[in-house]
Amino acid sequence: EAKTAGRNTVRFFDPAMQAILLVRMLLESNLRLALSQNQFQLYYQVQVNADGKFLGAEALIRWWHPDRGFISPAEFIPLAEETGLIIPIGQWVLETACAQLKQWEKSAATANLSLAVNVSAKQFQLTSFVETLSEIVARHQINPALLKIELTESAILDNIDATTEKMRELKKLGIAFSMDDFGTGYSSLAYLQRLPLNQLKIDQSFVRDLSHDENDATIVRAIIALGINLGLNVIAEGVETSAQRAFLIKHSCTAFQGYLFSKPLPMEEFMSLLEQEHSAHTEQAQIGFTG
Ligand code: C2E
Ligand code: MG
Ligand code: MG
Ligand code: MG
C-alpha cells in the first residue's frame, strides 16, 4: 500500500519537471547569496521629451552571476517575488537609487533629473513600506519630487484600498507614481480616476507593432487620450524606431523611453551620456546667444 503510494508520488515528478525544479532551487540559493556578495547593479535608461531633452531615467536591476553571467530580471524578479527575497532586494534598489539621486543633485548636468524605480506588489504591500521609504528619502536628503515609483496595474489592484492609501501618503511627501505596463492589466476607468497617479506608462507590447498593427495603434491612441483626459503625463516605453516616435508625438505623447534613445546603461556610462548631452545643449545656447 505504502509502496504503491510512494511510487505514485514519484510519478508526479517526471524528469523534465525535476530538471525545472532543480534549476529553480539552484537559482533561488544563488539569489540568496547575490545581495551579500554585491552581485546586483542598477542600470539607468534615459527618458526624454519630444525635443529629445533628458527628463530622467528608469533604474533597472542587473544581476551578474559569477558563473552564469548576466541573468535577466525577467527571470529572477518573479522568483524573488515568490520567495520573498524581493523585500531585501527591493530595499537595496531603493537605497541605491536614492544614493544615486543625491549624487545627481551635485552636478548641473543631472540636477533636475527624475529617477523612476520599479517596486513589486509584495514590497509595496508591506505595512511598513511608507515608513521605510520615508526614512530612506530623509536619510539621503533627496528631493522627493525627483523620485518616481513604478507600480504595475496588478500591484495596485491586488489590494486597491490599502495601496491607494499608501500612495496618497507618499504623494503627500512629494513622491510621484507611474503605472507601469499600462494596458496589460484590467484597471477600470473608475479606479484609474481615483488613484493618485502622475503618469501612465504605455506597455512596450503596444508600442512594438505600432507601425503595422492597427489594433495596437488604436490602443496606444486611446491610452494617450485617456491619460490626457485624466490630467496624467503619458510615457511610452520600448520606443525603438523613429516611426514609433513620430506616431506617438503626432498623438500627443510627451515622454519616451527605449533603445532609440539609449539602452539601459551602467552608472558611469549613463553619466557620460548626460554630460555629452549637457555640453551639447550648453554649446547650442551659447551659439544662440552670440549669433
Ligand atoms: P519594466 O519595468 O517594464 O522595464 C522595461 C523593460 O524594457 C526593461 O527590461 C528594459 O531594459 C526594456 N527595454 C527598454 N527599452 C526597450 C526597447 O526599446 N525595446 C525593448 N525590447 N526593450 C526595452 P529589463 O531591464 O529586462 O527589466 C524587465 C522587468 O523586470 C521590468 O520591466 C520590471 O518589471 C522588472 N524589474 C527591473 N528592475 C527592477 C527592480 O529594480 N525592481 C523590481 N521590482 N522589478 C524590476
Ligand atoms: Mg518599469
Ligand atoms: Mg514597463
Ligand atoms: Mg514590463
The 10s digit of each residue's pLDDT in 240-257 is 999 999 999 999 999 999
How far apart are the C-alpha atoms of 140 and 176, rounded to whole Å?
Answer: 17
Beta strands per DSSP E along 4-132: 40-49, 54-65, 69-71, 114-118
Between 194 and 149, the more confident residue is 149
- Max CA pair span of the chain: 94
The ligand whose atoms approach the alpha carbon of 148 most closely is: 2
Instruction: Judge whether residue 270 has pLDDT over 70.
Output: yes
CA nearest ligand 1 atom 3, residue:
181
Contacts of 84 (CB under 8 A, 6+ apart): 122
- Give kind and range of the element (H or E) at residue 166: helix 160-172
Buried b (16+ CB within 10 A) or exposed e, 180-189: bbbbeeebee
Tell me, using a 6 A CB cutoff, whether residue 238 lines ligand 1: yes
The 10s digit of each residue's pLDDT in 13-47 is 688 888 888 888 888 999 999 999 999 999 999 99
Q: Name the least confident of 15-19, 121-125, 192-196.
A: 15-19
Contacts of 48 (CB under 8 A, 6+ apart): 54, 55, 255, 256, 257, 261
Measured in Å, residue 60 CA sits from the centre of ligand 1 at 6
The mean per-residue pLDDT over the stretch 261-268 comes to 96
Tell me, using a 6 A CB cutoff, whether residue 73 lines ligand 1: yes
How far apart are the C-alpha atoms of 173 and 176, rounded to whole Å?
Answer: 9
From the CA of 80, give the closest atom in ligand 1: 44
β partners of residue 141: none
The mean per-residue pLDDT over the stretch 182-206 comes to 90
Measured in Å, residue 290 CA sits from the centre of ligand 1 at 43
CA nearest ligand 1 atom 37, residue:
60
Between 1 and 67, the more confident residue is 67
Tell me, using a 6 A CB cutoff, whether residue 60 lines ligand 1: yes
Instruction: Judge whether residue 60 has pLDDT over 70.
Output: yes
β partners of residue 119: none
Q: To the nearest 10°, the Cα dihedral for 21, 22, 23, 24? A: 50
The ligand whose atoms approach the alpha carbon of 77 most closely is: 1
Tell me, using a 6 A CB cutoff, whether residue 77 lines ligand 1: yes
Measured in Å, residue 265 CA sits from the centre of ligand 2 at 15
Predicted pLDDT of residue 127: 94
Burial class for 88, CB neighbours closer than 10 Å (0-12, 13-18, 19+): middle
Contacts of 25 (CB under 8 A, 6+ apart): none
